Structure 1
Amino acid sequence: MDDARGTHPRRDGIDDAATYAQVQQAVLDLLLDQRPDVVLLDMGAVTFLDAAGIRALLTCRCDAQQLGNRLQIRRAHERVRRVLAICEVEHLFH
């Protein structure tokens, strides 16, 4: 879904290690194919985030920055926001 601000890839969840690489690839493909200014990652369905998930998000953010774009998280579950805050990375996704 596109709008004036960016592109919104919707994920049903990145709450297990098997999906982290898929999320990273989907974000990278979107960045390379559509070149949005902002990628808004909808995390509304994600209720769990571990260290590998945080690493995947940080990798996606790094990929976006290298291409001159931004990655923002939308609709994050309270537990996910708490994990990001504890790891002191929440501010990187606004």
Structure 2
Amino acid sequence: MTSRRSPTQLGSPPWLSIETSVSADRHLASVWVDGELDRDSAGELLQVFRTALTDTGPQTIEVDLSAVTFIDAAGIRSLVTCRQLAEETGGTLHLKNPRPQARFVLGIAELSEVFGLPATPGEKGGSRRR
């Protein structure tokens, strides 16, 4: 099952697009986020995520951030909430391919390892440059 939601259909800001795909056995859901994940668009990710969990109940959710051009605290909060929702249904959430800006923000928040990414320098478990 693949669905592509256009920003205009959902009334979301024009700088966010989300695509989802669920494996045939319904154990893996993939979510691709394209654009800016910020206070104006973070709710859209939550809506899509809740729908994916309700419709399929996948055990593993992978969120690909390779096309996310900007992320702020609201975007990070939405990812944390998505992770909590996944855990409440017995699933896990992993982030894939974050761009440097998203990786930096996740590192500052010390959330890299929480999302299945290696720790960055300066995070607990990461090496620091001196």
Task: State the TM-score, normalized to the length of structure 1.
Answer: 0.89
1:12 lines up with 2:34 in the alignment: yes
SS at match of 1:17: coil
**Which of 1 and 2 has greater Rg?**
2
Verify the 8 A CA contact 2:34 2:68 in the aligned structure 1.
yes
Q: Which moved more, 1:62-71 or 1:10-19?
A: 10-19
1:60 lines up with 2:82 in the alignment: yes
**2: CA distance, partners of 1:86 / 1:53:** 14
Percent sequence identity over aligned pairs: 33
How far did residue 42 of structure 1 move? 1.2
1:42 lines up with 2:68 in the alignment: no
SS at match of 1:45: strand
> What pairs with 1:51-90 in structure 2 (closer than 5 Å)?
51-90=73-112
Paired residues, number: 94
Comparing both chains, which one has the higher relative contact order based on Cα–Cα distances under 8 Å and sequence gaps of 6 or more?
Answer: 1
SS at match of 2:41: helix
SS at match of 2:68: coil
CA RMSD across the alignment:
1.5
How far did residue 78 of structure 1 move? 1.3
Q: 2:51 is matched with which residue?
A: 29
Q: 2:22 is matched with which residue?
A: 2
Verify the 8 A CA contact 1:20 1:52 in the aligned structure 2.
yes
Q: Which moved more, 1:43-52 or 1:60-69?
A: 43-52
Higher strand share: 2
How far did residue 12 of structure 1 move? 1.5
How far did residue 2 of structure 1 move? 3.2
* Unaligned stretches of 5+ residues in structure 1: none
**1: CA distance, partners of 2:102 / 2:22:** 25
Q: Match for 1:70: what amino acid?
A: T
